[in-house]
Amino acid sequence: MSAPYRINSLIEMCSGDLSYDKGDDGVGAAMRRATGWLEANPGRWFVVGEVVSTGSRHNRLTVGIDVSSARRAGFEVTTVNNKVYARIPHPSGLPIDVFVTKRNPQRTDPLPRLQSDPFEWSLSELRAAAETARDWLFPGVS
């Protein structure tokens, strides 16, 4: 596949056994599956994990392959927007910022900002307008 290409996700595939003491080669089944995909596509980024906060500032959980496991397996790893991306380094590979831009979380106020109405109605005029609208929308209710 020629660049630029879509980044595929291996998170579900990598959510199994990641331990290094399983099987004859000492690598867990999930890590073997991920390694197969990454070796077949050198230089190509794949999403191999997702970092999930459990509410506490220091308490984070990775679903799929975590950064340290991927590095131990010899992958180039980076985390952007709580996603763990990995690849086998290759000269034809493009940098991650070609595909993914870091998103800066924006704090927003959940309540809308109150603004003055452009008609500059008085409070009594607003009450009369609301009552009229209610009468038209729900006749006989008030």
Contact yes or no for 100/50 (Cβ under 8 A): no
- 33-84 pLDDT per residue, tens: 778 888 888 988 888 888 887 666 666 777 888 888 888 888 999 988 888 8
Look at residue 26 in the predicted model and tell me its pLDDT: 43
Q: pLDDT averaged over the chain?
A: 77
Q: How far apart are CA 70 and CA 62, in angstroms?
A: 12
For 79-108, give one letter per residue: b (16+ CB within 10 A) or e.
Answer: bbeebbbbbbeeeebeebeeebeeeeeeee
**Is the pLDDT reported for residue 133 higher than 50?**
yes
For the chain, domain boundaries: 8-98
Mean per-residue pLDDT, 3-28: 58
Mean per-residue pLDDT, 80-109: 83
- Say which residue, 75 or 13, is predicted with more confidence: 75
Q: Report DSSP state, residue 88.
A: -
**Is the pLDDT reported for residue 21 higher than 80?**
no
